[in-house]
Amino acid sequence: MPLYIVPTPIGNLEDLTYRAARVLREADLIACEDTRRTRQLLQHYGISTPLMSCHEHNERARTRELVARLRAGDTVALVSDAGTPLISDPGDHLARTAIAEGLPVIALPGACAAITALSASGLSANGFRFVGFLPAKSKARRAALAELASEPVTLAFYEAPHRLPAFLQDACAILGDRPAVVARELTKLHETYERGALSALAARFEAEPPRGEIVVLIAGQALAAAPPPAEAALMAEVERRMADDGISATEAIRQTAQRYGLPRRQVYQQWLRRTDASIATEGR
């Protein structure tokens, strides 16, 4: 029977989907990080499915037991304490082993702190890189940040509250004073988004240490300062994308604008001028 990967709420218990509740109710066994925390969620929904702990310290041993249960015909649901399993949470070894054994693995959509934070961050969501937790020690953390310095897309991190000021200081030193967002306690009563330059955020949280679970989003590296191509070259690229990729003018305009860091409206207006000029020429 299948192994279900089931996201659970990151704060607000109402964020469990109908499908997730049904799968948790109908499963023969739920594998979870902390049985006490998962039991609270199940009690809220009146679910009495048996639990088995499966966390970073016992996952390999538990995998043997869980795969045996799957082979015997049981349905197993895997959950983490909050959010989507395997995303900076245990479960990777279990899922990989089940797949290698030819057992069905089914993932349900649901809550994820990084995606939730990105949606309301105000930073670009047209591509991002999820990093998760960086090393706790500054030297190793700075080395990891240096490897990410040239990424053009928004960077998404998880961080512990007591390490946040040092993390922001290191990020500013290695990446430069970029726009960033600190999202805290998402979907909970005291949810906050703090937006600003990395230096300002570092000073803010150095003065007032935060509490709760944290997502940090940092803008990607700005495109090179070289001027964008002339209008004719931009329009030629839009046409090439349409012809080569078989996409609409709207999508070709969006991709071209994103590549050169230009407002989409600017490229769209240039396209309209070119289209209008072409129509006028043909009508003569």
Domain ranges of the chain: 3-107, 113-218, 231-282
Which among 206, 160, 155 is positioned nearest to 181, based on CA atoms? 155
Residue 180, helix vs strand vs coil: strand
Which homologous superfamily is 3-107 in? Tetrapyrrole methylase, N-terminal domain (3.40.1010.10)
What are the counts of helices (DSSP H) followed by strands (DSSP E) for the chain?
Answer: 11, 10
Query: Which residues lie below 8 Å from residue 228, measured CB to CB, with a gap of 6+?
Result: 234, 260, 261, 262
Percent of the chain at pLDDT exceeding 90 = 76
C-alpha span between 89 and 83 (Å, rounded): 9
The whole-number pLDDT of residue 273 equals 86
By DSSP bridging, strand 76-78 and strand 3-5 are: parallel
Query: Which of 221, 210, 224 lies closest to 155 in space, CA to CA?
Result: 221
In CATH, what is the architecture of 113-218? 2-Layer Sandwich (3.30)
Nearest to residue 260, comparing CAs of 284, 224, 206?
224
pLDDT (average), residues 48-75: 96
Q: Which of 139, 70, 59, 127 is nearest to 104 (CA)?
A: 70
User: Which residues are registered as beta bridge partners of 51?
Assistant: 30
pTM of the entire predicted model? 0.76
Task: Say what the alpha-carbon torsion angle 267, 255, 152, 260 is, to the nearest 10 degrees.
Answer: -30
Are the C-beta atoms of 5 and 84 separated by less than 8 Å? yes
Rounded Cα distance between 23 and 5, Å, is 10
| Helix extents (H) in 111-260 | 113-119, 138-148, 164-175, 198-207, 231-245, 249-260
Q: Can you tell me the mean pLDDT for 12-29? A: 97
The string of DSSP letters for 210-228 reads --S-EEEEEPPPPPPSSPP
Which pLDDT belongs to residue 279?
Answer: 55
Amino acid (1-letter code) at residue 189: L
Confidence of residue 105 (pLDDT cuts 50, 70, 90): very high
pLDDT of residue 4: 98
